[in-house]
Structure 1
Amino acid sequence: MIILALLRIGKGQGEGHPPAAKMMGIPNLFGVCVYSFMCQHSLPSLITPISNKKKVSGLVLLDYILILAFYSLLSFTAIFCFNNSFLKDMYTLNFTDNCDVINVAFLRYFLGLFPVFTISTNFPIIAVTLCNNWKTLFHREGGTYPWVVDRVVFPLITLVPPIIVAFCTHDLETLVGVTGAYAGTGIQYIIPACLVFFSRKDLGLIFGDRVLNKHRSPFHHTFWVWFILLWSIFCLMFVTANIILTETKH
């Protein structure tokens, strides 16, 4: 997609003329930023195979720089390649309707169906994980679940909510903003920050100040934990305000 967009821009056929800044887009930006931060889920698989972790901080920094570069390249090529008034929320769909970008039918259909391929492979894994989390959450020591609860109730409460959401809305911008701001903020900001804070507190009570992690992050100060929590609150406030203002206009 990046190459196709660059080729079109290079030929002087780019239709995008975005404004330098659009203040009304800032509230939704917070939700999208939280959602895009899902790149962190790959970090454990990146760090675990490294035996010598002396340079792990530099490698993680390089990883984030590469992620930022690809995000930026994908975003900027999109906004300059396509007419911003008709730019679809699902980016791949812009290639299916525009033969000027790509005239090979197979590739157009492939790009249009690409989100389906990724979701089809990821959703079963995520659903199984969530179902197991439900079982662990309600588990009682020495107790077992009845067959109906184990095989019917838990799978249903896992599968039904996303299906309902899929049928009830097609506004991806709002969906990404809401899921990114509320669920994403809790999962990616609040919970990790609390885990770090209370883990350090417990380790301090057990080992005192004798143990020093030589691989600790440059952001190990408690200030950054509170900064993340404060950032989370701002994300929730801005996205909530954006949703209310958008619904009021309609």
Structure 2
Amino acid sequence: MAGEITDTGELYSPYVGLVYMFNLIVGTGALTMPKAFATAGWLVSLLLLMFLGFMSFMTTTFVIEAMAVANAQLHWKRMESHKQEEEDDDSSTASDSDVLVQESYERAERRPILSVQRRGSPSLFEITDRVEMGQMASMFFSKVGVNLFYFCIIIYLYGDLAIYAAAVPFSLMQVTCSSVGNDSCGVDADTRHNDTDQCWGPLRRVDAYRIYLAAFTLFLGPFTFFDVQKTKYLQILTSLMRWLAFAIMIVLALVRIGHGQGEGHPPLADLSGLRNLFGVCVYSFMCQHSLPSLVTPISSKRHLTRLVFLDYVLILAFYGLLSFTAIFCFRGDSLLDMYTLNFARCDVVSLAAARFFLGLFPVFTISTNFPIIAVTLRNNWKALFHREGGTYPWVVDRVVFPTITLVPPVLVAFCTHDLESLVGITGAYAGTGIQYVIPAFLVYHCRKDAQLAFGHGTPNKHRSPFRHTFWVGFVLFWAFSCFFFVTANIVLSETKL
């Protein structure tokens, strides 16, 4: 559940943490980035990618600072509790109750002065407890703020599930359905299909997609009703498959470009594709909601900010390499929403095993993540309506919450498989809230709380390098500007239609 404080688990080195963060950020969003690059133009795409990478790095340091302040508060409460227990033990031998009352009053009067003197220790800000985002929201936000936090997280997770639910059937449809005259070779060289085109026999492509969606829901949907844990070995297997697929795609694209077979001539700039590009880029840098479970187990956090900065530089370089090789290798109108599907063609990859591996790569990796995201969303629903000391009836706990978790994203996937739009909308709205708005408010309120509790000038070793309040205002201004821009762009697009 998002609001729980949990053990850190097994510790790992800073460089292992760097790899984990890289794997967390580089996911499904990267597969939709090439088409967004080709649509918006290479120069606009590069500039926006670099700027959004910088913004994401800034808000990541905001979340890490909030984690340090939350840990300081927890550490201090434990120190106070331990001190109180010792004082209670010492005073238990006294027999006069009036004396006890007077001593308690004197301790209460003295404690704030003593507390301020002791709270200046930098060790208080060590990140040793894994404090999830929901718990930080409850520590620093009002009740309204906590509810808005959960609402934003829930909307984002719904978008995530809708993307996953559409990506797997879409990939299966593209690989198994082929046009007449190309029945044995997966996706055609001409990738511009209509959903009403023939797939197998009397079945249309959209019928095949919905059959695969039904099978996907029946196979993975029941996991929503139970507890699922991501195993270490599953994570390793998924990571190996991801990097093998990315490496094959980059090398194949470079080989085709080097042999003069590149078909892409991307424009310098095309503002009509900016909306989807923005959402895809925001989605592709999403990691803020998972930072507590990722950062806390790092054994040495002395140079944490530098490591995070290095991670973002490497991610920017990787996104640029993947997208630029894609847009110069393939024509813009032939790039598919899921980039891997461009390699399921005979004229691109001659080896059948490689074609099917790349074409079905999203099926393997996304299918392993869907139950985990679904259980996370279900637990956030339960946390949103949780009452202190109360429990849910069995039907509500085991039927209602899993059902409201599973049904909406499946319905969205049933209505559309436009992955670029799904990723763009999820990133532009819920992604903006999680990546910009929530971290900005978290760091603003945690700084105020730290000043009140520990005094001015308290050394927080994990304080963000963006310390001035200007940066918090700038992030919020950017977030609301993006929200307005994307909404206006959608309205204008619908009006033109």
- Structure 1's 138 and 47: CA in aligned 2 closer, same or farther, altered over 3 A? closer
Distance in 2 between residues matched to 1:132 and 1:44, nearest whole Å: 17
* Residue 241 (str. 1) matches residue 488 (str. 2): yes
RMSD across aligned positions (CA)? 1.8
1:5 equivalent in structure 2: 253
Distance 2:254 2:424 in 1: 28
Matches within 5 A, 1:38-117: 38-40=286-288, 44=292, 47-96=295-344, 98-117=345-364
Select 1:140's aligned residue among 369, 384, 387. 387
Greater shift in the superposed pair: 118-127 or 210-219? 210-219
Does 2:273 align with 1:25?
yes
Q: C-alpha distance in 2, partners of 1:234/1:106?
A: 46
**1:141 and 1:41, CA in 2 relative to 1: closer, same or farther beyond 3 A?**
closer
- Which residue of structure 1 lines up, in the alignment, with residue 368 of structure 2? 121
Three-state SS of the structure 1 residue aligned to 2:423 is helix
For 2:486 and 2:318, how far apart are their aligned partners in 1? 25
Identity %, equivalent residues: 75
| Distance in 1 of aligned mates of 2:282 and 2:364 | 23
TM-score by length of structure 1 reads 0.92
Once the 2 structures are TM-superposed, how far is the Cα of residue 173 of structure 1 from its aligned partner?
2.0
Inter-partner Cα distance in structure 2 for 1:181 and 1:224: 20
Structure 1 residue 30 displacement after superposition: 2.0
Give the C-alpha shift of residue 181 in structure 1: 0.8
What amino acid is aligned across from residue 20 of structure 1 in structure 2?
L
Mind listing any 5+ residue stretches in structure 2 that lack a counterpart?
Answer: 1-248
CA distance in 1, matches of 2:350, 2:297: 42
Q: Which has the larger radius of gyration?
A: 2
Deviation at 1:214, TM superposition (A): 2.3
User: 2:470 pairs with 223, 245, 248, which one?
Assistant: 223
Query: Offset at 1:41?
Result: 5.7
Q: What secondary structure is seen at the aligned counterpart in 1 of 2:402?
A: helix
| Whole-angstrom distance in 1 between the partners of 2:482 and 2:435 | 12
The CA deviation at 1:213 is 0.9
Mapped partners of 1:204, 1:243: distance in 2:
43
Structure 2 contact 288–434 (Cα < 8 Å) conserved: no
Distance 2:273 2:322 in 1: 18
Please list the CA deviations of residues 124-148 of structure 1 after superposition, one character each: whole Å capped at 9, or x if unmatched.
1111111111112111122211111
Cα deviation, residue 27, structure 1? 2.8
Q: Does structure 1 retain, via aligned residues, the 8 Å contact 2:263–2:328?
A: yes
CA contact (8 A) 2:282 2:431 kept: yes
1:43 is displaced (CA, Å) by 5.0
- Three-state SS of the structure 2 residue aligned to 1:213 is coil
Secondary structure of 1:200's match? helix
Tell me, which stretches of 5 or more residues in structure 1 are unaligned? Answer: none
Q: 1:103 to 1:195 in 2, by over 3 A?
A: same
Structure 1 pair 246–113 and aligned structure 2 pair: CA distance change class (3 A): farther
Paired amino acid for 2:465: P
What is aligned with 2:431? 184
The answer on whether the counterparts of 1:14 and 1:82 sit within 8 Å (CA) in structure 2 is: yes
CA shift for structure 1 position 66: 0.4
8 A Cα contact 1:31 1:181, kept in partner:
yes
How far 1:40 sits from its partner (Å)? Answer: 4.9
Q: Structure 2 length as normaliser, TM-score?
A: 0.48
Distance 1:114 1:8 in 2: 21
How far, CA to CA, are the matches of 1:160 and 1:54 in structure 2? Answer: 45
Tell me, yes or no, if the aligned pair for 1:17 and 1:80 is still in contact at 8 Å. Answer: yes
CA deviation string 1:18-66 (max 9, x = no partner): 1112122223322122111115566556543443333222211111000
- The equivalent of 1:196 in structure 2 is 443
- Are residues 247 and 170 of structure 1, via their aligned partners in 2, closer, same or farther at CA, if it must alter by over 3 Å? farther
Give the whole-Å Cα distance in 1 for the aligned partners of 2:396 and 2:333: 49
Letter in 1 for 2:496: K
Q: What is the aligned length?
A: 249
Deviation at 1:206, TM superposition (A): 1.0
Cα displacement string for residues 153-188 of structure 1 (whole angstroms, at most 9, x for unaligned residues): 000111111101111112222211111111111122
Contact residue 27 and residue 241 of structure 1 kept, 8 A: no
For 2:489 and 2:276, the matched residues in 1 are separated by 6
Q: Are the equivalent residues in 1 in contact too, given 2:263–2:329 (CA < 8 A)?
A: yes
Residue 115 (structure 1) shift: 1.5
Moved more, 72-81 or 168-177: 168-177
**Aligned counterparts of 1:194 and 1:90: Cα–Cα separation in 2:** 34
Query: Relative to structure 2, which stretch is displaced further, 9-18 or 26-35?
Result: 26-35
* 1:108 positional shift: 1.3
Secondary structure at 2:334's aligned position in 1? coil
